[in-house]
Structure 1
Amino acid sequence: MSITRYQTAARMSKIVVHNNTAYLCGQVAEDRSADITGQTKTMLAKVDGLLESVGSNRDKLLTATIYLKDMADFAAMNAVWDAWVPAGSAPARACVEASMASPELLVEISVTAAV
């Protein structure tokens, strides 16, 4: 059994690959001062970069769990999400309202993808 961990620190790895499946840790916005649209865009750009680093991409998404600070942002987040997900490649997805680790964060995502 092979497990490969990438960008590993004491608390977590940014990516773990096992059996040709990539598991990403929670990703948040690059600019925490942005609105929900800006935070969602930069968060998904980080997902793109991490997936690419292990030979995957958004066409290979299997699951996504999205955490929103406020469900009032659901429609605006979905507008960015819908433009980002390739047609016919939508993963199994959950979206929940959650307390965030930092008060300025509006959205976080965790994804699993095939490699």
Structure 2
Amino acid sequence: MPDVRWPSASGGRSRVVARGAQVFAVANASDAGLDFSGQLAQTLAMLDAHLSHVGASRASLLSVQIFLSDLQHKKQLDAAWREWIGEDSATWPQRAVVGAQLDGGLLVEMVATAFR
């Protein structure tokens, strides 16, 4: 499999990198003016797009680190995550949620490792 890098518009970094079977991706909302629900929906959609771009999918996720600007949003995250990730526990990744100071009005950011 060829290496794939999808550069970020910010420069100096990539949105997703795939080398061999390994996939590394980061996702966040493209509109930081949205509320948490809107940013979360955009972030999950972006993660789907990044995985698809390199021939991976939700089912190939191994680990996801989720950074929240406010841990008060964790219950809302958990509900949306369960709906997004699906019912098949055989495909669930390891997941961690961390409180973090995010830049530019972002409320959520995800860093994922997967395979393709």
- TM-score, normalised by the number of residues in structure 2: 0.87
Query: Within 1, Cα distance between the matches of 2:103 and 2:78?
Result: 22
Instruction: Give the match for residue 6 of structure 1.
Output: 5
Query: Within 2, Cα distance between the matches of 1:56 and 1:7?
Result: 14
Instruction: Give the match for residue 91 of structure 1.
Output: 93
Structure 1 contact 59–86 (Cα < 8 Å) conserved: no
Instruction: Give the match for residue 71 of structure 2.
Output: 71
| 1:97 to partner: Cα distance | 0.2
Count of matched residue pairs = 112
| 1:60 to partner: Cα distance | 0.7
SS at match of 1:99: coil
Unpaired runs of 5+ residues, structure 2, are none
Query: Within 1, Cα distance between the matches of 2:16 and 2:73?
Result: 27
Instruction: Give the match for residue 17 of structure 1.
Output: 18
The alignment yields a C-alpha RMSD, in angstroms, of 1.6
Unpaired runs of 5+ residues, structure 1, are none
Structure 2 contact 6–17 (Cα < 8 Å) conserved: no
Relative to structure 2, which stretch is displaced further, 32-41 or 2-11? 2-11
Query: Within 1, Cα distance between the matches of 2:12 and 2:53?
Result: 20
- TM-score, normalised by the number of residues in structure 1: 0.88
SS at match of 1:96: strand
| 1:81 to partner: Cα distance | 1.0
Relative to structure 2, which stretch is displaced further, 12-21 or 55-64? 12-21
